């Protein structure tokens, strides 16, 4: 059976692992790093979160690990349950369960996480992005020339961006748009910083929007397909009117090395460091 991997925050229980019986010896930060090293061998992780046990329980830690793929989460659970992973005693690993059906609002991934997921399945050279338009929508000049209206709000900078994401192997293109606004403060340096921030955020939102129209399809054979569903507001921009699915002729292998080419982006984007977004440690 094929598995769908959308460019969205994973909330499903079959993508979540619960790990407990972790000894109290190492720190939460050390456990988080060790768990990330172990479980990332099975697939791309969205997060690793470590918690101290409740006061009424025995000293130690538990953890919640989220995968993007349910299949990879299941393989990790079977391989790691009852094993000596990060300590001298075995740990318990279970798939997340819910007693009642819970409907979750789908949250889109940030642009940096979208790129990481695309790099993992398509490879660093398997996709590309291009800024189609970056336009300022601010009304600063109108406000300065309008002497009859007393401004009630601080002036702001607003930018619109449209981007294109291309998957050449699948003959697929996806378009996204984003708008970002930054409130201005006094000072020339502040103006330049706010302008750059508004441009950067508009680009990031447009890129994330483009990926939301794509869904990775992992087939039983190990091959990868792409499901493409344009939104209604983008139908006049895109050339395709129907869903497009293209299957790679080669078996998929995760891409874990190399660097991403950002030459087509003139502005700095989010930090793509894995540590910044693949894992977090939460303590009360």
DSSP 70-125: HHHHHHHHHHHTTS-SSSSS--EEEE---SS----PPPBPPHHHHHHHHHHHH-TT
The pair of three-digit structure tokens given for residue 229, joined into one six-digit string:
């569903």
Q: Residues 66, 71, 77, CA angle at the centre, nearest 5°?
A: 65
**pLDDT value at position 151?**
55
Q: How many CB atoms lie within 10 A of CB 254?
A: 12
The pTM score is 0.77
pLDDT tens across 95-149, in order? Answer: 987 644 455 578 999 999 999 999 999 999 999 999 999 999 876 545 555 555 5
Cα separation, 281 vs 31, whole angstroms: 9
Q: Are 15 and 226 in contact (CB under 8 A)?
A: no
pLDDT tens across 3-40, in order? Answer: 999 999 999 999 999 999 898 888 999 999 999 999 99
Provide the β-strand partners of residue 45: 67
Ordered strands of the 3-6 beta sheet: 3-6, 214-218, 224-228, 244-247
Cα separation, 36 vs 25, whole angstroms: 18
Q: How many residues does the chain have?
A: 284
């Amino acid at each position: 059976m094929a598995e769908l991997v959308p460019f969205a925050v994973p909330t499903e229980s079959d993508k979540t692992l619960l790990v407990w019986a972790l000894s109290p010896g190492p720190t939460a930060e050390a456990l988080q790093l060790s768990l990330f090293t172990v479980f990332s061998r099975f697939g791309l992780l969205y997060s690793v979160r470590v918690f101290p046990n409740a006061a009424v329980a025995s000293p130690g830690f538990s953890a919640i690990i989220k995968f993007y793929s349910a299949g990879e989460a299941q393989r990790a659970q079977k391989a790691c349950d009852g094993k000596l992973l990060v300590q001298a005693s075995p740990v318990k690993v279970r798939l997340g369960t819910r007693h009642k059906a819970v409907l979750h609002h789908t949250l889109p991934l940030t642009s940096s996480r979208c790129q990481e997921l695309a790099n993992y399945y398509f490879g660093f050279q398997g996709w590309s992005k291009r800024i189609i338009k970056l336009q300022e929508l601010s009304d600063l000049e109108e406000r300065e020339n309008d002497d009859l209206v007393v401004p009630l709000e601080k002036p702001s900078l607003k930018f619109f961006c449209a981007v294109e994401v291309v998957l050449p192997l699948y003959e697929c293109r996806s378009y996204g748009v984003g708008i970002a606004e930054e409130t201005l403060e006094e000072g020339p340096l502040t103006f330049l910083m706010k302008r750059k921030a508004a441009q950067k955020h508009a680009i990031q939102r447009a890129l994330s929007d483009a990926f939301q129209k794509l869904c990775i399809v992992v087939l039983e054979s190990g091959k990868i397909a792409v499901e493409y569903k344009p939104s209604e507001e983008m139908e006049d921009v895109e050339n395709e009117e129907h869903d497009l699915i293209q299957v790679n002729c080669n078996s998929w292998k995760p891409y874990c090395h190399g660097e991403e080419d950002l030459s087509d982006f003139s502005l700095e984007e989010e930090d793509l460091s894995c540590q910044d977004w693949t894992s977090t440690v939460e303590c009360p």
